[in-house]
Amino acid sequence: MITAYTGFVPSMAVRLPDCSPDMLQQALWLAGRDFCLESESYLQELTAIDSVADQKEYTLTIPDDFDALRVFEVRVLSEYDVTNSLKGVVQDASKYDFHVKTGVLEFFVAPFQEIITGGLVVELVLAPYEDENDTQLDFEWIRRWGTYIKAGAFEHLFSMPKAIWFSEKEEKKFRMKSREGIALAIREVKTSGTTRPLRINGRGWL
């Protein structure tokens, strides 16, 4: 079972034996980031934040080795919600602003009038850095979208005009496969409203 980009390198090397493992992995990192940027499919719920009475701004802790693209969902929980493991109330996006550069979530009206441990839950859309350890990535996300990320890596490699393996035909084929995956991921995010996995199986022709 492949749980990291490095797991794709051996099979990719069969198709491109003249391409170094480092270059193959770099192409996977690049394709994975592009996939996240275009599909906004990499979602992560942050550790619940303790509320502060009458406070409008909360600084979010962005996971290491990731860029935060935007807020996917914000939920406000009462003490009853927290105690009973309930979801709380999803906040309309018109009620807050997320400052990407500073990681500050700013509410226009303070959402709490009391201190509630774990009262604020935020889910972010993330994109991994291009050259970081892929073991930081969610294994389920890689299993679901790895086929298409692999296609994106091949697209990048076959588009290199100075490489001996350069091929417009192959680049086009893998571009179509990559875009297919991005379209599927976009549709899932828009229709599901959740990070719960949908079993989408890519064709095994890579």
Query: What pLDDT, in 10s, does the model give residues 79-124?
Result: 999 999 999 999 999 999 999 999 999 999 999 999 999 999 999 9
> Any idea where the domains of the chain sit in the sequence?
5-41+137-192, 44-126
- Facing residues of 97 across strands? 106
What single DSSP character describes residue 62?
A: P
* Least confident residue range of 25-29, 73-77, 180-184, 201-205: 201-205
**0.85 exceeded by pTM:** yes
Report d(CA 155, CA 163) in Å as an integer. Answer: 13
Strands 96-99 and 43-45: unpaired
What pLDDT, in 10s, does the model give residues 120-135? 999 999 999 887 666 6
- Facing residues of 57 across strands? 106
State both tokens at 2: 């492949």
State both tokens at 202: 């890519």
State both tokens at 83: 């105690």
pLDDT at 73: 96
Report d(CA 42, CA 19) in Å as an integer. Answer: 28
Question: Residue 4's closest CA among 128, 143, 127?
Answer: 143
What pLDDT, in 10s, does the model give residues 27-48? 999 999 999 999 999 999 999 9
